[in-house]
Amino acid sequence: MNRTSLRQATGPISFLAMLIACWFVAGLIADRMVRQELDATLRTEHQMSSSIVDNMAEVIASDLAMSRSIPGTMAEMGLIQHALTQSQDYAVSGATTETALRTALVGRTDLTAVNSFLRDAQGFSGLDTIWLVNANGICIASSNSDSEHTFVGRDMRTRHYISQVLLGAFAENYGVGRETGEPGIFIAAPVYDDGMLVGAVVAKVGIARLRHWVAHAGTFVADDKGVVIMAHNSALEGRALPDAAVLKMSPTDRMSTYKRSDFPTLQIHSANEDEHRQAPWIPASLWSQLVTTPHLNTPAMYQERIGLNSGLSAHLVDPVAAWPDLLANHRRDRLLVFLTMAGVVGLAWVISVSWARERRHHRATRDLADQLTSANALLSAEARHDALTGALSRRYFLDLLKREIDQARANGEPLCMAIADLDHFKQINDRFGHAIGDRALEHFVESCRAELRASDAIGRLGGEEFGILLPSTKLSAGHEAVERLRMRVKTLQSTKLPASTGLSVSIGITELNADDLPERLMSRADQALYAAKSGGRDRTEAVPPDDSAPTARTAAALT
């Protein structure tokens, strides 16, 4: 072979080798460019998802603490302790049927008052049901004692939370009601009398009341056995987390707790080789931050919070929204760099494209930072205001109460506080539905804003109960103001509510004295509210600032 032939043979080979080298180097450069973009994206999205799941965990812990305090407080009441002590001789035996037990318990006059008290407590607290179980596991009194599906007379020893509390431990479990089939969280507090365990106070919080926990897309809540009990995407409910304790339970125990025995596993796992093959340029340090699930087409950020002072855990699966763009950017960048290295003629064009791309990169990073700032501002506003009514949240209202007390004392000015409770609110929900109940709550807050001063404050304390602060106001003037509010709620019905709703409100009001702590001021306002409720509802009652008597609820419990 002559020299000319050799050059003709080696020329195409050398050019092909140079093209291969350019393609390889272009790939390395593109990998580095997109890795930097992905790293910035993941940092920003991690901050956003952490803020979301932290706020969700805080709301869950706050709501459960509020619900948990009710049976715990009732367990300390003499009325409850005495009723359980006097009912120790009731137990299920072969000679005693459930019907006979129910008849005997409902017929006892001393338990009639207890049943009435439990119904009132349920109405005030917003719980679904409250009942008492003696040391033999028999329900002796219940807030639903007058309903067709009353718990009175039932043997409840087979309930897991009952067996726990009858051993002296505070119990809190998710479960499905055996009669109603409605899911909820069951809270049980042991009751002692003279150091002896005499029974338990049990309460149920329906899951329907807690749907605000999963308001954000991708969020879900799991119980202590790893079962998804609520999710923004309802298709995930009833699934089990990987290696969940429920998968090790017997079918009988599953049916007893959940009314079902089949729990498909929720597939949340780190990306495997198949996903990594889609983007091999992502380093392991970044890939380890991502998970994949069958119901998502892109990798996602996964956040969970456990140990929320309960058996529940908060979870968030947040897809990486920029993932398709990142894959497209990688392919485009590799081709652009390859063309740059393959031809000097296109150098100026490639430089301009790269400069434009960098501007887009910085703009996208800045936009993500702006989104993070907006998300933080939104989360802060949600923490300050109740999402449904726009009233102040309970936590912010209590903080404001402390500041107003300090300011009133520093300026030598009076301060009034009132607590308002919508009458028969559960009946409105039961009769017209929760949507109409929500409209009733919104109507009350709108009435407060129309009737009260701009300097006054209203906060939602929980359920249908609201707190009202009236700065620089004596008790007589405050009483007149909230009485006008009561009449407005009663007479000016909202067009969003059915005409037959008959919405009314009971209000208790008191004035700050020199020695009041926030808790004592709220206690007197609550005492006045209880007096308004006991006096027939749809009325306003005032307790003077020098009243040192125990609250009406406590006094009634000790009689």
Residues in Cβ contact with 386 at an 8 Å cutoff, skipping those fewer than 6 apart: 392, 393, 459, 460
Domain count, the chain: 3
pLDDT value, residue 93: 58
- Residue 529's pLDDT band (cuts 50, 70, 90): very high
Please give the average per-residue pLDDT across 11-19, as a whole number. 71
User: Quick one: 219 and 199 in the same domain?
Assistant: no
In the prediction, which pLDDT does 552 show?
43
Q: Are residues 155 and 234 in the same domain?
A: no
Give the Cα separation of 451 and 487 in Å (integer). Answer: 10
Helices (H), 156-205: 160-165
Residues 38/31, Cβ–Cβ less than 8 Å:
no
Q: Residue 383 is encoded by which pair of tokens?
A: 């923490």
How far is the C-alpha of 200 from the C-alpha of 190, rounded, in Å? 4
Confidence of residue 369 (pLDDT cuts 50, 70, 90): low
156 lies in the same domain as 225: no
Helix (H) or strand (E) holding 292: strand 290-292
- Whole-angstrom distance, CA of residue 90 vs CA of residue 110: 15
Least confident of 69-73, 362-366, 371-375, 536-540: 371-375
Q: How far is CA 384 from the centre of its chain?
A: 15
Amino acid at 382: E
Q: What is the pLDDT of residue 469?
A: 96
Winning range, highest mean pLDDT, from 89-93, 154-158, 164-168, 503-507: 503-507
Same-domain check for residues 218 and 198: no
Maximum distance among all Cα pairs of the chain, rounded to whole angstroms: 121
- Report the range of poorest mean pLDDT among 63-72, 281-290, 303-312, 381-390: 281-290
Instruction: Tell me if 91 sits within 8 A of 136, measured CB to CB.
Output: yes
* Sheet containing strand 415-422, strands side by side: 457-462, 465-471, 415-422, 505-511, 540-543
Q: Are 202 and 71 in contact (CB under 8 A)?
A: yes
Give just the sign of the alpha carbon dihedral 510, 514, 519, 523.
negative
pLDDT tens digits, 31-61:
677 677 777 777 888 888 888 888 888 888 8
Same domain, 218 and 196: no
Span 486-500, average pLDDT: 88
Fill in the DSSP letter of residue 244.
-
Residue range 415-436: mean pLDDT, rounded: 92
125/363 Cα distance (integer angstroms):
50
Between the two ends of the chain, the Cα-to-Cα distance in Å is: 119
492 inside domain: yes
Which tokens belong to 434? Answer: 């929760």
Residue 8, SS3 per DSSP: helix
Neighbours of 381 (CB within 10 A): 11
- Please identify, among 181, 203, 225, the residue that sits at the C-terminal boundary of a domain: 203
- Whether the CB-CB separation of 144 and 151 falls below 8 Å is answered with yes
Residue 152 amino acid letter: V
With a cut of 50, say whether residue 404 has pLDDT above it.
yes
27 in a structural domain: no
In this structure, the answer to whether residues 196 and 217 fall within a common structural domain is no
Mean pLDDT of 72-101: 82
Q: Please give the sequence-ordered ranges of beta strands (E in DSSP) within 441-513, or none if there are none.
A: 457-462, 465-471, 505-511
Interstrand relation of 505-511 and 540-543 (parallel, antiparallel or unpaired): parallel
Residue 92 and residue 174 share a domain:
yes
58 within domain boundaries: no
Q: Per-residue DSSP letters for 304-316?
A: EE--SSSS-EEEE
Residue 463: phi and psi, rounded to 5, are 60, -125
Q: Which domain holds residue 268?
A: 209-302
302, 318, 336 - which closes a domain: 302
pLDDT of residue 375 exceeding 50: yes
Do 67 and 127 form a contact (C-beta atoms < 8 A)? Answer: yes
Identify whether residues 172 and 273 lie together within a single domain.
Answer: no
- Give the whole-angstrom CA distance, residue 314 versus residue 286: 23
Q: What is the mean pLDDT of residues 332-359?
A: 64
Residue 372 belongs to a domain:
no
Does residue 148 lie within any of the structural domains?
Answer: yes
Q: What is the pLDDT of residue 456?
A: 93
Q: How confident is the model at residue 275 (pLDDT cuts 50, 70, 90)?
A: low
Q: Average of pLDDT values for 466-483? A: 95
Q: One-letter amino acid identity for 58? A: E
Helix axes 518-534, 394-411, angle to 10 degrees: 110
Calculate the CA 408 to chain-centre distance: 34
| Percent of the residues in the chain that have a pLDDT greater than 70, as a whole number | 83
User: What whole-number distance in Å separates Cα of residue 403 and Cα of residue 386?
Assistant: 20
CATH number of domain containing 461: 3.30.70.270
Query: What is the pLDDT at residue 364?
Result: 67
pLDDT band at 266 (very low <50, low <70, confident <90, very high): confident
The letter for the amino acid at 169 is A
Whether residue 190 sits in one domain with residue 218: no
- pLDDT reported for residue 95: 45
184 in a domain, yes or no?
yes
User: Which of the four pLDDT bands, split at 50, 70 and 90, describes residue 401?
Assistant: very high
The pLDDT of residue 170 is: 87
Phi then psi for residue 215, to 5 deg, are -70, -25
- Same structural domain, 407 and 546: yes
The pLDDT confidence band at residue 408, using thresholds 50, 70 and 90, is very high
Q: 353: which residues sit within 8 A by CB, 6+ positions away? A: 336
How large a percentage of the chain has pLDDT more than 90? 30
pLDDT interval class at 558 (50, 70, 90): very low
More confident residue, 37 or 530: 530
Contacts of 500 (CB under 8 A, 6+ apart): none
Interhelix angle for 347-384 vs 3-74, to 10°?
0
The CATH number of the domain holding residue 90 is 3.30.450.20
- Mean pLDDT of the 329-351 span: 64
Reported as a single tens digit per residue, the pLDDT across 183-234 is 888 999 999 999 899 999 999 998 888 888 888 888 988 888 888 988 888 8
At residue 246, the pLDDT reads 84
- Looking at 149, 172, 203, the residue that finishes a domain is 203
d(CA 180, CA 151): 11
The arrangement of strands across the sheet holding 313-319 comes to 228-231, 219-222, 313-319, 300-305, 290-292, 269-270
Could you tell me if 409 and 509 lie in one domain?
A: yes
Burial label for 402, CB within 10 Å (0-12, 13-18, 19+), is exposed
Cite the DSSP H helix spans in 90-178.
Answer: 98-106, 109-125, 160-165
User: Please, which residues have CB within 8 angstroms of residue 486's CB and are 6 or more apart in sequence?
Assistant: 504, 505, 506, 507, 538, 539, 540
pLDDT, residue 188, reads: 92
10 located within any domain: no
**Beta-strand pair 129-134/139-142:** antiparallel
Give pLDDT tens digits for 119-165: 998 888 888 899 999 988 899 999 888 888 888 888 888 888 888 88
Average pLDDT of the segment spanning 169-187:
83
Can you give the pTM of this predicted structure?
0.51
